[in-house]
Structure 1
Amino acid sequence: MSLFKKIFGAVNDVSGEERNSDSNPFLPEEQLPVDELFMLNFKKNGGKFIYCDNLTEVHEQFLNVLEENDWFECEVMCFEPKLHVLLDENKLNYTKPVSPKFLLASCENLIADEGSILFSSNQIKQNKPNELPANIVIVATTSQLLGNKSDGLREIKKKYDKDYPTNITTIKYFEKVKEEDFLHYGSSVKNLYLLLLEDL
Protein backbone atom coordinates (compact mmCIF):
# COMPACT_ATOMS: atom_id res chain seq x y z
CA MET A 1 0.00 0.00 0.00
CA SER A 2 1.40 3.42 -0.90
CA LEU A 3 2.17 6.08 1.66
CA PHE A 4 -0.59 8.42 0.35
CA LYS A 5 -3.23 5.68 0.78
CA LYS A 6 -2.10 5.09 4.37
CA ILE A 7 -2.28 8.80 5.21
CA PHE A 8 -5.35 9.89 3.26
CA GLY A 9 -7.18 6.55 3.03
CA ALA A 10 -8.17 4.66 -0.08
CA VAL A 11 -10.29 6.54 -2.60
CA ASN A 12 -12.87 3.73 -2.67
CA ASP A 13 -12.97 3.37 1.12
CA VAL A 14 -16.30 5.16 1.63
CA SER A 15 -18.62 4.43 4.54
CA GLY A 16 -22.09 2.96 3.87
CA GLU A 17 -23.84 6.20 4.90
CA GLU A 18 -21.78 8.30 2.50
CA ARG A 19 -22.41 5.79 -0.28
CA ASN A 20 -26.19 6.02 0.28
CA SER A 21 -26.20 9.80 0.40
CA ASP A 22 -24.34 9.96 -2.92
CA SER A 23 -26.73 7.61 -4.71
CA ASN A 24 -27.36 8.37 -8.35
CA PRO A 25 -30.62 10.34 -8.76
CA PHE A 26 -31.08 8.79 -12.22
CA LEU A 27 -31.28 5.23 -10.92
CA PRO A 28 -34.80 4.03 -10.04
CA GLU A 29 -35.67 3.97 -6.37
CA GLU A 30 -36.81 0.80 -4.69
CA GLN A 31 -40.25 0.05 -6.16
CA LEU A 32 -43.25 -0.21 -3.84
CA PRO A 33 -45.74 -3.05 -4.35
CA VAL A 34 -48.61 -2.07 -6.66
CA ASP A 35 -51.24 -2.06 -3.87
CA GLU A 36 -49.17 0.20 -1.59
CA LEU A 37 -48.29 2.55 -4.46
CA PHE A 38 -51.96 2.85 -5.43
CA MET A 39 -53.10 3.59 -1.87
CA LEU A 40 -50.36 6.18 -1.40
CA ASN A 41 -51.17 8.02 -4.66
CA PHE A 42 -54.95 7.63 -4.30
CA LYS A 43 -54.92 9.21 -0.83
CA LYS A 44 -52.52 11.93 -2.05
CA ASN A 45 -55.11 12.77 -4.74
CA GLY A 46 -57.78 13.12 -2.03
CA GLY A 47 -59.64 9.82 -2.48
CA LYS A 48 -61.38 8.05 0.40
CA PHE A 49 -60.34 4.43 0.64
CA ILE A 50 -62.32 1.69 2.46
CA TYR A 51 -60.91 -1.84 2.51
CA CYS A 52 -63.43 -4.72 2.67
CA ASP A 53 -62.65 -8.39 3.42
CA ASN A 54 -65.91 -9.76 2.00
CA LEU A 55 -69.21 -8.79 0.34
CA THR A 56 -70.95 -8.36 3.70
CA GLU A 57 -68.43 -5.64 4.57
CA VAL A 58 -69.02 -3.97 1.18
CA HIS A 59 -72.74 -3.71 2.02
CA GLU A 60 -71.98 -2.41 5.54
CA GLN A 61 -69.45 0.17 4.32
CA PHE A 62 -71.79 1.34 1.56
CA LEU A 63 -74.44 1.96 4.24
CA ASN A 64 -71.83 3.89 6.29
CA VAL A 65 -71.07 6.11 3.26
CA LEU A 66 -74.81 6.78 2.83
CA GLU A 67 -75.13 7.70 6.53
CA GLU A 68 -72.04 9.91 6.49
CA ASN A 69 -73.38 11.96 3.57
CA ASP A 70 -77.13 11.68 4.31
CA TRP A 71 -77.80 10.16 0.89
CA PHE A 72 -80.93 8.25 1.85
CA GLU A 73 -84.04 8.59 -0.32
CA CYS A 74 -82.12 10.26 -3.10
CA GLU A 75 -81.61 9.62 -6.80
CA VAL A 76 -78.51 7.72 -7.93
CA MET A 77 -76.82 7.28 -11.30
CA CYS A 78 -75.95 3.59 -11.85
CA PHE A 79 -75.64 1.81 -15.20
CA GLU A 80 -74.61 -1.62 -13.92
CA PRO A 81 -77.34 -4.13 -12.97
CA LYS A 82 -74.90 -6.10 -10.77
CA LEU A 83 -74.75 -3.10 -8.40
CA HIS A 84 -78.51 -2.51 -8.21
CA VAL A 85 -78.78 -4.84 -5.20
CA LEU A 86 -76.89 -2.22 -3.09
CA LEU A 87 -79.37 0.43 -4.18
CA ASP A 88 -82.48 -1.74 -3.79
CA GLU A 89 -81.67 -2.77 -0.22
CA ASN A 90 -81.25 0.92 0.70
CA LYS A 91 -84.37 2.04 -1.23
CA LEU A 92 -82.48 4.39 -3.55
CA ASN A 93 -83.97 5.44 -6.89
CA TYR A 94 -81.74 4.69 -9.91
CA THR A 95 -84.27 4.53 -12.75
CA LYS A 96 -83.97 7.64 -14.91
CA PRO A 97 -82.57 9.98 -12.23
CA VAL A 98 -83.11 13.69 -12.89
CA SER A 99 -80.59 15.09 -10.41
CA PRO A 100 -78.53 12.21 -8.97
CA LYS A 101 -76.63 12.81 -5.72
CA PHE A 102 -73.91 10.30 -6.64
CA LEU A 103 -72.72 7.73 -9.16
CA LEU A 104 -72.41 4.12 -8.04
CA ALA A 105 -70.12 2.18 -10.37
CA SER A 106 -67.43 -0.41 -10.72
CA CYS A 107 -64.37 0.36 -12.84
CA GLU A 108 -62.09 -1.26 -15.38
CA ASN A 109 -58.93 -0.94 -13.29
CA LEU A 110 -57.18 0.93 -10.49
CA ILE A 111 -53.98 2.61 -11.75
CA ALA A 112 -51.22 2.56 -9.12
CA ASP A 113 -48.66 5.03 -10.51
CA GLU A 114 -51.29 7.82 -10.65
CA GLY A 115 -53.72 6.70 -7.95
CA SER A 116 -56.47 7.02 -10.56
CA ILE A 117 -59.60 5.06 -11.55
CA LEU A 118 -59.92 3.78 -15.14
CA PHE A 119 -63.48 3.76 -16.53
CA SER A 120 -65.08 2.82 -19.82
CA SER A 121 -68.54 3.04 -21.37
CA ASN A 122 -69.43 -0.14 -19.44
CA GLN A 123 -69.54 1.91 -16.23
CA ILE A 124 -70.34 5.49 -17.30
CA LYS A 125 -71.89 5.06 -20.80
CA GLN A 126 -70.95 8.06 -22.97
CA ASN A 127 -70.78 10.58 -20.11
CA LYS A 128 -67.65 12.69 -19.79
CA PRO A 129 -66.22 13.05 -16.26
CA ASN A 130 -67.61 16.60 -15.94
CA GLU A 131 -71.11 15.27 -16.79
CA LEU A 132 -71.06 12.80 -13.89
CA PRO A 133 -72.31 13.70 -10.39
CA ALA A 134 -69.81 15.41 -8.09
CA ASN A 135 -69.92 12.40 -5.74
CA ILE A 136 -68.86 8.90 -6.81
CA VAL A 137 -68.83 5.57 -4.98
CA ILE A 138 -66.71 2.89 -6.66
CA VAL A 139 -66.85 -0.83 -5.89
CA ALA A 140 -63.63 -2.52 -7.05
CA THR A 141 -61.51 -5.56 -6.25
CA THR A 142 -57.83 -5.98 -5.42
CA SER A 143 -57.34 -8.00 -8.63
CA GLN A 144 -58.09 -4.80 -10.58
CA LEU A 145 -54.91 -3.09 -9.30
CA LEU A 146 -52.42 -2.45 -12.11
CA GLY A 147 -49.15 -0.53 -12.37
CA ASN A 148 -49.96 2.05 -15.06
CA LYS A 149 -52.42 3.11 -17.78
CA SER A 150 -50.68 1.00 -20.42
CA ASP A 151 -51.32 -2.09 -18.29
CA GLY A 152 -54.96 -0.98 -17.93
CA LEU A 153 -55.46 -0.56 -21.68
CA ARG A 154 -53.79 -3.93 -22.32
CA GLU A 155 -56.15 -5.53 -19.79
CA ILE A 156 -59.20 -3.96 -21.50
CA LYS A 157 -57.99 -5.28 -24.86
CA LYS A 158 -57.53 -8.77 -23.41
CA LYS A 159 -60.81 -8.77 -21.45
CA TYR A 160 -63.12 -7.62 -24.25
CA ASP A 161 -61.33 -9.31 -27.17
CA LYS A 162 -63.13 -7.65 -30.11
CA ASP A 163 -66.11 -5.87 -28.54
CA TYR A 164 -64.05 -3.01 -27.10
CA PRO A 165 -65.77 -0.49 -24.85
CA THR A 166 -65.74 3.15 -25.86
CA ASN A 167 -65.25 6.28 -23.77
CA ILE A 168 -62.18 5.02 -21.89
CA THR A 169 -61.13 7.66 -19.34
CA THR A 170 -59.57 8.09 -15.91
CA ILE A 171 -60.53 10.19 -12.93
CA LYS A 172 -57.55 11.23 -10.87
CA TYR A 173 -58.40 14.25 -8.71
CA PHE A 174 -60.68 13.79 -5.73
CA GLU A 175 -60.31 17.15 -4.01
CA LYS A 176 -59.81 20.71 -5.19
CA VAL A 177 -56.12 21.61 -5.28
CA LYS A 178 -54.98 24.81 -3.60
CA GLU A 179 -52.84 25.94 -6.52
CA GLU A 180 -53.83 24.73 -9.96
CA ASP A 181 -51.14 24.24 -12.58
CA PHE A 182 -51.32 23.14 -16.20
CA LEU A 183 -51.50 19.47 -15.12
CA HIS A 184 -54.92 20.09 -13.57
CA TYR A 185 -56.30 22.00 -16.55
CA GLY A 186 -59.61 20.54 -17.72
CA SER A 187 -59.69 17.90 -14.98
CA SER A 188 -62.93 17.21 -13.19
CA VAL A 189 -62.65 17.04 -9.39
CA LYS A 190 -64.84 14.38 -7.74
CA ASN A 191 -65.62 13.45 -4.14
CA LEU A 192 -64.79 9.75 -4.49
CA TYR A 193 -65.17 6.78 -2.16
CA LEU A 194 -63.51 3.48 -3.09
CA LEU A 195 -64.88 0.28 -1.56
CA LEU A 196 -62.03 -2.15 -2.28
CA LEU A 197 -62.96 -5.83 -1.95
CA GLU A 198 -60.21 -8.36 -1.30
CA ASP A 199 -60.47 -11.08 -3.94
CA LEU A 200 -56.92 -12.45 -4.19
Structure 2
Amino acid sequence: MPLRPDFVAPVHPPLSSPDPVVAFAESFQRVGGEFYYCETLEHLAKQIAGFRQRQQVGAPYVWEPDLQAVLRAAGVAFRADEQDFIAQADLSLTSCEALVARTGSVLVSAATASGRRLSIYPDQHLVLARPSQVVSEIGEALRVIQSRYGSQMPSMVSLTSGPSRTADIEKTLVLGAHGPRRIALFLLEEGENNGE
Protein backbone atom coordinates (compact mmCIF):
# COMPACT_ATOMS: atom_id res chain seq x y z
CA MET A 1 0.00 0.00 0.00
CA PRO A 2 1.48 3.42 -0.98
CA LEU A 3 2.37 5.90 1.75
CA ARG A 4 -0.26 8.52 2.39
CA PRO A 5 1.08 12.08 1.82
CA ASP A 6 1.23 14.36 4.83
CA PHE A 7 -0.76 17.38 3.66
CA VAL A 8 -0.21 19.20 6.97
CA ALA A 9 3.61 19.15 6.90
CA PRO A 10 5.31 22.26 5.49
CA VAL A 11 6.29 22.06 1.82
CA HIS A 12 9.70 23.66 2.38
CA PRO A 13 12.33 22.90 4.99
CA PRO A 14 12.98 25.61 7.58
CA LEU A 15 14.93 28.67 6.44
CA SER A 16 18.71 28.53 6.81
CA SER A 17 18.44 30.90 9.81
CA PRO A 18 15.62 31.71 12.25
CA ASP A 19 16.31 35.38 11.38
CA PRO A 20 14.69 36.05 7.97
CA VAL A 21 17.14 38.89 7.25
CA VAL A 22 20.11 36.56 7.72
CA ALA A 23 18.38 33.88 5.63
CA PHE A 24 17.75 36.45 2.87
CA ALA A 25 21.40 37.61 2.89
CA GLU A 26 22.60 34.00 2.58
CA SER A 27 20.16 33.14 -0.22
CA PHE A 28 20.80 36.42 -2.08
CA GLN A 29 24.56 35.82 -2.09
CA ARG A 30 24.07 32.18 -3.08
CA VAL A 31 22.26 33.26 -6.30
CA GLY A 32 25.03 35.72 -7.19
CA GLY A 33 23.91 38.97 -5.53
CA GLU A 34 26.21 41.22 -3.52
CA PHE A 35 24.85 42.05 -0.06
CA TYR A 36 25.85 45.09 2.03
CA TYR A 37 24.42 45.70 5.50
CA CYS A 38 24.41 49.42 6.39
CA GLU A 39 23.78 50.42 9.99
CA THR A 40 23.91 54.18 9.34
CA LEU A 41 23.73 56.65 6.47
CA GLU A 42 27.48 57.19 6.81
CA HIS A 43 28.05 53.46 6.41
CA LEU A 44 25.71 53.43 3.37
CA ALA A 45 27.75 56.21 1.76
CA LYS A 46 31.01 54.30 2.33
CA GLN A 47 29.57 51.05 0.97
CA ILE A 48 28.23 52.69 -2.20
CA ALA A 49 31.49 54.59 -2.73
CA GLY A 50 33.46 51.35 -2.34
CA PHE A 51 31.18 49.56 -4.80
CA ARG A 52 31.54 52.34 -7.39
CA GLN A 53 35.31 52.39 -7.00
CA ARG A 54 35.64 48.61 -7.37
CA GLN A 55 33.37 48.53 -10.42
CA GLN A 56 34.75 51.76 -11.92
CA VAL A 57 31.28 53.21 -12.52
CA GLY A 58 29.81 56.70 -12.30
CA ALA A 59 27.01 57.96 -10.10
CA PRO A 60 23.84 55.85 -10.27
CA TYR A 61 20.66 57.02 -11.94
CA VAL A 62 18.05 57.46 -9.19
CA TRP A 63 14.54 58.62 -10.09
CA GLU A 64 12.57 57.94 -6.88
CA PRO A 65 12.19 61.10 -4.72
CA ASP A 66 12.32 59.16 -1.41
CA LEU A 67 15.58 57.48 -2.41
CA GLN A 68 17.01 60.79 -3.58
CA ALA A 69 16.26 62.25 -0.13
CA VAL A 70 18.04 59.37 1.62
CA LEU A 71 21.06 59.68 -0.67
CA ARG A 72 21.21 63.46 -0.18
CA ALA A 73 21.16 62.96 3.60
CA ALA A 74 23.98 60.41 3.24
CA GLY A 75 25.99 62.66 0.91
CA VAL A 76 25.87 60.15 -1.96
CA ALA A 77 26.07 61.55 -5.52
CA PHE A 78 23.43 60.42 -8.00
CA ARG A 79 21.92 61.35 -11.36
CA ALA A 80 18.28 62.43 -11.14
CA ASP A 81 17.85 63.28 -14.83
CA GLU A 82 17.39 61.10 -17.90
CA GLN A 83 19.97 62.88 -20.05
CA ASP A 84 22.14 60.38 -21.98
CA PHE A 85 20.42 57.55 -20.09
CA ILE A 86 20.68 55.05 -22.94
CA ALA A 87 24.35 55.80 -23.58
CA GLN A 88 25.49 56.13 -19.97
CA ALA A 89 23.23 53.95 -17.84
CA ASP A 90 25.87 51.70 -16.39
CA LEU A 91 24.47 51.94 -12.85
CA SER A 92 21.02 52.43 -11.32
CA LEU A 93 19.65 52.47 -7.80
CA THR A 94 16.02 51.61 -7.04
CA SER A 95 13.81 50.63 -4.15
CA CYS A 96 11.92 47.33 -4.05
CA GLU A 97 8.55 46.03 -2.91
CA ALA A 98 9.86 43.09 -0.86
CA LEU A 99 12.81 40.72 -0.32
CA VAL A 100 12.23 36.95 -0.26
CA ALA A 101 14.37 35.06 2.26
CA ARG A 102 13.72 31.59 0.81
CA THR A 103 15.02 32.37 -2.68
CA GLY A 104 17.13 35.51 -2.16
CA SER A 105 14.84 37.29 -4.62
CA VAL A 106 14.09 41.00 -4.93
CA LEU A 107 10.54 41.96 -5.88
CA VAL A 108 10.41 45.19 -7.89
CA SER A 109 7.49 46.82 -9.69
CA ALA A 110 6.82 49.56 -12.21
CA ALA A 111 4.71 51.45 -9.65
CA THR A 112 7.67 53.54 -8.44
CA ALA A 113 9.25 56.53 -10.21
CA SER A 114 11.97 54.12 -11.38
CA GLY A 115 9.38 52.59 -13.69
CA ARG A 116 10.40 49.56 -15.74
CA ARG A 117 13.74 50.82 -17.03
CA LEU A 118 15.95 51.34 -14.00
CA SER A 119 15.81 47.77 -12.71
CA ILE A 120 16.33 46.19 -16.13
CA TYR A 121 18.30 48.37 -18.55
CA PRO A 122 21.55 49.40 -16.74
CA ASP A 123 24.47 46.98 -16.63
CA GLN A 124 24.54 47.07 -12.82
CA HIS A 125 21.50 47.40 -10.54
CA LEU A 126 21.71 48.60 -6.94
CA VAL A 127 18.75 48.18 -4.58
CA LEU A 128 18.20 50.07 -1.34
CA ALA A 129 15.92 48.23 1.10
CA ARG A 130 15.03 47.97 4.80
CA PRO A 131 14.99 44.90 7.08
CA SER A 132 11.21 45.27 7.48
CA GLN A 133 10.82 44.44 3.78
CA VAL A 134 12.10 40.87 4.22
CA VAL A 135 9.46 38.14 4.03
CA SER A 136 10.03 34.39 4.23
CA GLU A 137 8.29 33.12 1.08
CA ILE A 138 7.31 34.28 -2.41
CA GLY A 139 3.60 34.03 -1.52
CA GLU A 140 4.09 36.57 1.26
CA ALA A 141 5.85 38.95 -1.14
CA LEU A 142 2.95 38.70 -3.58
CA ARG A 143 0.50 39.40 -0.74
CA VAL A 144 2.53 42.55 0.09
CA ILE A 145 1.99 43.76 -3.48
CA GLN A 146 -1.69 42.81 -3.40
CA SER A 147 -2.35 44.61 -0.12
CA ARG A 148 -0.39 47.69 -1.21
CA TYR A 149 -2.03 48.14 -4.62
CA GLY A 150 -5.35 46.26 -4.42
CA SER A 151 -7.12 46.38 -7.77
CA GLN A 152 -4.59 48.92 -9.14
CA MET A 153 -1.79 46.41 -9.65
CA PRO A 154 1.45 47.72 -11.24
CA SER A 155 1.86 47.11 -14.96
CA MET A 156 5.05 45.13 -14.25
CA VAL A 157 6.13 43.07 -11.25
CA SER A 158 9.48 41.31 -11.42
CA LEU A 159 10.99 38.74 -9.09
CA THR A 160 14.76 39.04 -9.57
CA SER A 161 16.95 36.22 -8.29
CA GLY A 162 20.57 37.22 -8.89
CA PRO A 163 22.14 38.78 -11.97
CA SER A 164 20.64 38.17 -15.40
CA ARG A 165 22.12 35.01 -16.87
CA THR A 166 21.55 32.40 -19.54
CA ALA A 167 23.29 29.31 -20.88
CA ASP A 168 21.10 28.90 -23.97
CA ILE A 169 23.95 29.02 -26.46
CA GLU A 170 26.30 26.01 -26.34
CA LYS A 171 25.60 25.73 -22.59
CA THR A 172 28.02 28.60 -21.92
CA LEU A 173 26.96 30.84 -19.02
CA VAL A 174 26.57 34.47 -20.06
CA LEU A 175 25.84 37.20 -17.50
CA GLY A 176 23.77 40.25 -18.41
CA ALA A 177 21.91 38.55 -21.23
CA HIS A 178 18.45 39.98 -20.52
CA GLY A 179 19.09 42.47 -17.72
CA PRO A 180 21.78 43.67 -15.31
CA ARG A 181 25.03 41.73 -15.17
CA ARG A 182 25.41 42.56 -11.48
CA ILE A 183 22.91 43.18 -8.68
CA ALA A 184 23.85 44.55 -5.27
CA LEU A 185 21.56 45.16 -2.32
CA PHE A 186 22.21 47.73 0.39
CA LEU A 187 20.12 46.94 3.47
CA LEU A 188 19.80 50.15 5.49
CA GLU A 189 18.77 49.82 9.12
CA GLU A 190 15.31 51.05 10.07
CA GLY A 191 15.01 54.65 11.24
CA GLU A 192 17.98 55.88 9.19
CA ASN A 193 16.44 58.79 7.25
CA ASN A 194 13.22 57.44 5.81
CA GLY A 195 13.27 60.00 3.01
CA GLU A 196 11.53 62.67 5.05
Match of 1:101 among 82, 90, 101: 90
Deviation larger for 187-196 or 171-180: 171-180
Taking a change above 3 Å as real, the CA distance of residues 175 and 87 of structure 1, as seen in their structure-2 partners, is farther
1:48-97 Cα deviation digits (max 9, x unpaired): 1111112332222222222222324x5x4322012224279444433014
In the TM superposition, residue 134 of structure 1 has moved relative to its aligned partner by 1.5
What is the rounded CA distance, in whole Å, between the counterparts of 2:179 and 2:160 in structure 1? 7
Taking a change above 3 Å as real, the CA distance of residues 35 and 187 of structure 1, as seen in their structure-2 partners, is farther
Match of 2:185 in 1: 194
- Tell me the SS of whatever aligns to 1:77: coil
Match of 1:138 in 2: 127
- Tell me the SS of whatever aligns to 1:137: strand
Provide the identity percentage: 22
Taking a change above 3 Å as real, the CA distance of residues 142 and 27 of structure 1, as seen in their structure-2 partners, is closer
> 1:166 aligned to 2:152?
no
Match of 2:22 in 1: 36
**Structure 1: unaligned runs, 5 residues or longer:** 1-25
What is the rounded CA distance, in whole Å, between the counterparts of 1:91 and 1:199 in structure 2? 22
Larger helix proportion of the pair: 1
Q: Note if contact 1:109-1:144 (Cα within 8 Å) is conserved in structure 2.
A: yes
Taking a change above 3 Å as real, the CA distance of residues 111 and 42 of structure 1, as seen in their structure-2 partners, is same
What is the rounded CA distance, in whole Å, between the counterparts of 1:53 and 1:63 in structure 2? 15
In the TM superposition, residue 176 of structure 1 has moved relative to its aligned partner by 4.8
Match of 1:126 among 105, 116, 119: 116
In the TM superposition, residue 45 of structure 1 has moved relative to its aligned partner by 0.8
Taking a change above 3 Å as real, the CA distance of residues 94 and 119 of structure 1, as seen in their structure-2 partners, is same
What is the rounded CA distance, in whole Å, between the counterparts of 2:140 and 2:11 in structure 1? 23
What is the rounded CA distance, in whole Å, between the counterparts of 2:101 and 2:11 in structure 1? 20
Alpha-carbon RMSD across the aligned residues, in angstroms, is 3.2
Match of 1:150 among 133, 139, 155: 139
Kindly provide the amino acid, as one letter, of the partner of residue 183 in structure 2: L
Match of 2:46 in 1: 60
TM-score, reference length from structure 2: 0.70
Structure with the greater alpha carbon radius of gyration: 1
**Structure 2: unaligned runs, 5 residues or longer:** 1-9, 192-196
In the TM superposition, residue 178 of structure 1 has moved relative to its aligned partner by 7.5
